[in-house]
Amino acid sequence: MWRDVQASKEDFLLLYSVLSAASDSHIDFLLSALPVEACDALMRQLYRGLAFGNSAASACLFRWHERLTQHAGLGCVVRSLVPIQLKRQATSLSTPSG
């Protein structure tokens, strides 16, 4: 488990370095290039980053969260918070069995 936590922190630091380098004027342009699935993945990463509790990073992450929510809508927030297993169960329930 420690290895997973360490990998998560390293992944977050890489993501944070990219997000913090983007100027406010470029955020909307960058988000416009992302498909829905990528927006959802980015939102999940923003929440994971916020969970680390770094107040300096949180300002940047909340800035991206606001812009991403404006771009992708509240559905992006909901989809990022629903565990993947629940999504798979919902998909299998809605798919007619042959």
Q: Identify the CATH assignment for 2-94 out of 2.120.10.70, 1.10.10.10, 1.25.40.190, 1.10.3720.10.
A: 1.25.40.190
Computed on alpha carbons and rounded to an integer, the radius of gyration of the chain in Å comes to 15
The reported pTM is 0.76
In this structure, the number of other CB atoms found within 10 A of the CB of residue 7 comes to 10
Q: What is the pLDDT of residue 33?
A: 94
Q: What is the pLDDT of residue 95?
A: 58
Averages of pLDDT over runs of 10 residues in the chain (98 residues) are: 61 90 93 94 91 87 96 92 68 58
95/77 Cα distance (integer angstroms): 24
End-to-end, the C-alpha distance of the chain in Å comes to 40
40 contacts 79 by C-beta, under 8 angstroms? yes
Q: What is the pLDDT of residue 20?
A: 95
Domain ranges of the chain: 2-94
